[in-house]
Amino acid sequence: ASEVLLKQYVTDNASQHPRKHDTFIGYGTAGFRTGADLLDHVMFRVGLISALRSKSLGGKAIGVMITASHNPEPDNGVKLVDPLGEMLAPDWEKLSTSLANLSDDELPQAIIEKLIKPYSIDWQAPGLVYLGRDTRPSSVALAKAVIDGIACIGCELIDFDVVSTPIVHYLVASRNDESLGEPTREGYLKKLSGGFRRVCSQGKEKTRYNPTIKVDGANGVGAIVMKEFADEIDSDIIKIDIVYDGSSGRLNHECGADFVKVNQTYPPGLITPEKAIRFISLDGDADRVIYFYFDSNNAFRMLDGDKIATLFAEHLGGLVKQSGLSLSIGLVQSAYANGSSTNYIQDVLGIPVSCAPTGVKYLHHEAMKYDIGIYFEANGHGTAAFSSKSLSLIKDAAKSGENPATVELYEFTNIINSTVGDAISDLLAVEAILYSRDWTIEDWDSKYADLPNKLMKVLVKDRTVITTADAERKVVTPEGVQSKIDNVVAKYKNGRSFVRPSGTEDVVRVYAEADTKANADKLCSEVSAVVFDLCGGVGARPSV
Residue 372 bridge partners (DSSP)? 329, 386
Considering the complex, state which of residue 283 and residue 450 has its C-beta at the smaller distance from ligand G16: 283
Taking CB atoms within 8 Å and a gap of at least 24, the contacts of 98-102 are 99/45, 99/48, 99/49, 100/25, 100/26, 100/27, 100/32, 100/41, 100/42, 100/45, 100/46, 101/24, 101/25, 101/26, 102/19
Q: How far is the CB of 28 from ligand G16 (least distance, A)?
A: 7
Q: How far is the CB of 146 from ligand G16 (least distance, A)?
A: 18
Q: How far is the CB of 295 from ligand G16 (least distance, A)?
A: 28
- 389 DSSP 8-state letter: H
With H, G, I as helix, E, B as strand and everything else as coil, classify residue 344. helix
| Residues involved in catalysis | 69
Q: How far is the CB of 378 from ligand G16 (least distance, A)?
A: 9
Considering the complex, state which of residue 149 and residue 222 has its C-beta at the smaller distance from ligand G16: 222
8 A C-beta contact, residue 134 and residue 73: no
Considering the complex, state which of residue 181 and residue 220 has its C-beta at the smaller distance from ligand G16: 220
Cis-peptide into 478, omega within 30 deg: yes
Q: How far is the CB of 170 from ligand G16 (least distance, A)?
A: 16
Question: What is the distance between the alpha carbons of residues 277 and 452, in angstroms, rounded to a whole number?
Answer: 24
Considering the complex, state which of residue 79 and residue 214 has its C-beta at the smaller distance from ligand G16: 79
Per CB under 6 A, residues contacting ligand G16 are 29-30, 69-70, 283, 287-288, 358-360, 377, 379, 381, 502-505, 509
Considering the complex, state which of residue 10 and residue 481 has its C-beta at the smaller distance from ligand G16: 481
Q: How far is the CB of 7 from ligand G16 (least distance, A)?
A: 34
The closest of 314, 252, 316 to 288, measured between CA atoms, is: 252
Beta-strand relationship, 329-333 and 353-355: parallel
Considering the complex, state which of residue 69 and residue 417 has its C-beta at the smaller distance from ligand G16: 69
Q: How far is the CB of 258 from ligand G16 (least distance, A)?
A: 7
Considering the complex, state which of residue 135 and residue 504 has its C-beta at the smaller distance from ligand G16: 504
- Tell the burial category of 400 from Cβ atoms under 10 Å away from its Cβ (0-12, 13-18, 19+): exposed
Which residues have C-beta within 8 Å of that of residue 305, sequence separation ≥ 6? 288, 290, 376, 377, 378, 379, 380, 381, 382
Cβ atoms within 10 Å of 157's Cβ, excluding its own: 17
- Amino acid sitting at position 432: A
**What are the two backbone dihedrals, phi and then psi, of residue 456, each rounded to the nearest 5 degrees?**
-135, 160
Question: What is the distance between the alpha carbons of residues 476 and 458, in angstroms, rounded to a whole number?
Answer: 18
For residue 429, what is the enclosing H or E element?
Answer: helix 423-437
Question: What is the distance between the alpha carbons of residues 264 and 456, in angstroms, rounded to a whole number?
Answer: 12
8 A C-beta contact, residue 219 and residue 256: yes
Q: How far is the CB of 401 from ligand G16 (least distance, A)?
A: 38
- 449 DSSP 8-state letter: -
Considering the complex, state which of residue 96 and residue 390 has its C-beta at the smaller distance from ligand G16: 96
Beta-strand relationship, 289-294 and 300-303: antiparallel
